[in-house]
Amino acid sequence: MSTSTAEHDSYLVENWDTETLIDFLKEQNLRLDDKKHYDILRTQEVDGQAFLELTEEKLLAPPYNFPGGPAIKLAKEIKALKEKPKRAFSSYKSLSEVLAKYGIDGNGTDTIPLFSLQSYEIEDTNEHFKQCMAEILVRLKNYGTLVVDSLEAMRNEYVVAILHSAINITRDETGKELSMRPEYEVIGEESSGRVDYAIKDVENLICITEDKPQRNVIEGFAQNIKQLESSYETNKKKRKRGDGDDYDYLYGIVTTARDWHFLLYTPGRISQGSKLPLSIDFSEDALDKKSVEYQTLCNGVKKVLSVVVGIIKDRACAEEEPDRKRVRVEGYRTKK
């Protein structure tokens, strides 16, 4: 028996613990106080399942005793979660279905327009790069060569090593407060679910990564685009009306650990960084640091890291000049 999208969305919420629920509510920019309001939910042990059963009347009454304003806001969120059908990211299998929304005809990635990838030069002496290589070599020694049908858990370890290193390098370079959230819950107007890895600054989601086996890369593009749409909507909810900063963009990554594809999302437009992926050859022959394979591995990791750092740095620094966001993004789309 199939499950409707509305039922599926409710199922996701019902599995939230109290802190996951509170994290979600904070993302909605309700402007509630952590001690005055969210502590009530903690004290009453309100998880996702219980939250869906609350009403404005219940929130106003004992044992909750919320003030009128917060009660109205929370009741509105409950109604939205219960009544608005949302489709799970994992249900998107057809790239042509997703691209049609952007006026792009086709079920392959070749039809997606290009943008110019931003990059940052990684030095061999960079401590985070050296740590990344050390972690990769440990995994190669324990797992052996990474092949097309390698288990997801194995792929994830290489992806995580590279993403953490990229965040650390970007933090050192910019001084920005950045974090990575695995299995991060994102709820948009049409779609919802957990993304594999979300990279955030203090206020905004800036980059979403989807980890896929080689046979599901096209599917990964479709899901990552929908994840970026919902992430944009999440960011938009937190922006103050009338602050003049109503334009936003995010980066997406679709990776098999070996191959890395990059996407740029703005409302109504999607672009990719190149027709072909950047690739890393995770071969156990690279364990010999004097070998050609080791140098090939270093070059591949460095090239991917330079782009991941480049896009994170670009988006993290965009808030410094919000009025120039649109101009800089249009400049990236000059590549033919």
Average pLDDT over residues 317-328: 82
Please say whether the beta carbons of 25 and 47 come within 8 A. Answer: no
Please say whether the beta carbons of 43 and 18 come within 8 A. Answer: no
> What are 207-250's pLDDT values in tens digits?
999 999 999 999 999 999 999 999 999 998 877 655 555 689 99
What DSSP character marks residue 111?
G
- Phi and psi at residue 260, to the nearest 5°: -130, 120
For the chain, report the end-to-end CA distance as a whole number of angstroms: 47
Going by their DSSP bridges, the two strands 191-200 and 278-279 should be labelled as unpaired
The yes or no reply on domain 5-85 and CATH 1.10.150.50 is: yes
Q: How confident is the model at residue 11 (pLDDT cuts 50, 70, 90)?
A: very low
Is the confidence at residue 317, as pLDDT, over 80?
Answer: yes
Of 34-48, 80-94, 246-260, minimum mean pLDDT range: 80-94
CA distance 193 to 227: 8
DSSP 199-257: EE-SS-EEEEEEE--GGGHHHHHHHHHHHHHHHHHHHHHTSPTTSS-----EEEEEE-S
Query: Domain limits of the chain?
Result: 5-85, 104-332
Q: Residue 39: what pLDDT? A: 95
Cβ neighbours around 304 below 10 Å, total: 24
Q: Residue 20: what pLDDT? A: 84
CA distances from 280 to 3, 163, 298, 326 (A): 39, 14, 9, 32
> What are 71-113's pLDDT values in tens digits?
999 999 998 888 766 788 998 989 999 999 999 988 889 999 9
Going by their DSSP bridges, the two strands 191-200 and 205-211 should be labelled as antiparallel
Q: How confident is the model at residue 4 (pLDDT cuts 50, 70, 90)?
A: very low
DSSP 19-36: HHHHHHHHHTT----III
Q: What is the dihedral of CA 204, 205, 206, 211, to 10 degrees?
A: 170
CA distance 27 to 258: 33
- Phi and psi at residue 261, to the nearest 5°: -115, 145
> What are 278-298's pLDDT values in tens digits?
999 999 999 999 999 999 999
Of 90-104, 153-167, 252-266, minimum mean pLDDT range: 90-104
